[in-house]
Amino acid sequence: MSKNSVLILGGASDIGMATAHRFAESGHPIQLAARNVSRLEAAKTDLSVRHNVAVELLELDVLDDAQCDGFVASLETLPETVVCVIGFMGDQSESETNAPAARTVMRSNYEGPACLMAHFANAFVARGNGSLVGVSSVAGERGRASNYVYGSAKAGFTAFLSGLRNRVTKQNVHVVTVLPGFVNTRMTEGMDLPAKLLAQPSDVGNAIFNAVEKQKNVVYTLPIWRLVMFVITHIPEFIFKKTSL
């Protein structure tokens, strides 16, 4: 049962944790990277006792450029798979008027994750294999008044992943883009979301696991989102600009 390890960037999040459990269940050692990572001690014990795998905690702040650029080199073992679930929704109305707040959202969802993925992609290309999973968002498929600052950064991340996939696919490195839709997490707690469109973190964890196993390119967690986003991206702009979605 000695499988290769899976690194979760943003391991403290609900989706990150669910993904870690899914891979650990199949016997993969887990590395969790997050800010103030010592708060994950209980989660570490839980993962390792439940699934009988080794679990390592790594400190990582996506807004710390020096840390991000030195991160791959700092790892004792280069993982087989990297899953990036780092994301920060912020407060849209604050992001509209407060440039530093908007910048934090943009950097947390695009710049930081994209640069991390770039470092890992280069290391995987050098090694000759590996899988990279980027959790982006359906919010990046079309900008909407209610969350376009977050959405635009996710759009950038989605485009980055698509380009990266195109670049490294010939070098035996696989890139997955995940568009989860609404997920029942800390980020959406208290929001009134339609149950039919709401996935559980474990659904996303399963989707990511399957996407890596089956080498899928772009996955939605719930199939219905493919349809929802098809409709949303095809509404003519002169109508779309008047809607409040």
Partner 1 sequence: MRLSGWGRFPVVDTDVSRPRDTLGMTEALSREGTIAHGMGRGYGDCALGTEHTLITQHLNHVISFDDTTGVLVAEAGMTLADVIKCFLPRGWFPAVTPGTKYVTLGGMIAADVHGKNHHRDGSMAACVLWIDVLTPDGHVHRCSPEHEQELFNFTLGGMGLTGVILRASIRLQRVESGWIDQTTVPAANFRDAMAVFERSADHTYSVAWIDCLSRGASLGRSLVMLGEHAPVSALGPAEHADRYAMTVRKKKSVPVDFPRFALNKWSVTAFNTLYYHLGSRQPAQRLVPWDSYFYPLDAILGWNKIYGRKGFVQFQCVLPLAESERGINALLDAISNAGAGSFLAVLKRMGQGRNDGIAFPMEGYTLALDFPATPSNLKLVARLNQLTADHGGRIYLAKDAVMQASQFHNMDARSERLRAFRAQRDLHNRVASIQSRRLEL
Active site residues: 150
CB 175 within 8 A of CB 190: no
Report, in Å, the least distance between residue 143 CB and partner 1: 31
The window from 49-57, 148-156, 214-222, 234-242 that contacts partner 1 (CB under 8 A) reads 49-57
The window from 47-55, 65-73, 129-137, 158-166 that contacts partner 1 (CB under 8 A) reads 47-55
The window from 46-54, 98-106, 153-161, 173-181 that contacts partner 1 (CB under 8 A) reads 46-54
Residue 3 interacting with partner 1 (CB under 8 A): no
Residue 189 interacting with partner 1 (CB under 8 A): yes
Q: Rounded to whole angstroms, how far apart are CA atoms 185 and 74?
A: 30
Angle between helices 65-74 and 112-127 (to 10 degrees): 20
**Could you give the count of Cα atoms lying within 13 Å of 91 in the half-sphere of its Cβ?**
6
Count of residues that interact with partner 1, criterion CB under 8 A: 9
Report, in Å, the least distance between residue 36 CB and partner 1: 13
Residue 194 interacting with partner 1 (CB under 8 A): no
Residue 46 interacting with partner 1 (CB under 8 A): yes
Residue 51 interacting with partner 1 (CB under 8 A): yes
Nearer to partner 1, 37 or 43 (CB): 43
Report, in Å, the least distance between residue 125 CB and partner 1: 37
Residue 34 interacting with partner 1 (CB under 8 A): no
- Which of 3, 50, 127, 167 binds partner 1 (CB under 8 A)? It is 50
Q: Rounded to whole angstroms, how far apart are CA atoms 58 and 95?
A: 30
User: Binding mask 140-179 vs partner 1 (x if CB under 8 A, - otherwise)?
Assistant: ----------------------------------------
Provide the β-strand partners of residue 33: 9, 58
Residue 195 interacting with partner 1 (CB under 8 A): no
Q: Which residues bind partner 1 (CB under 8 A)?
A: 42-43, 45-46, 49-51, 186, 189
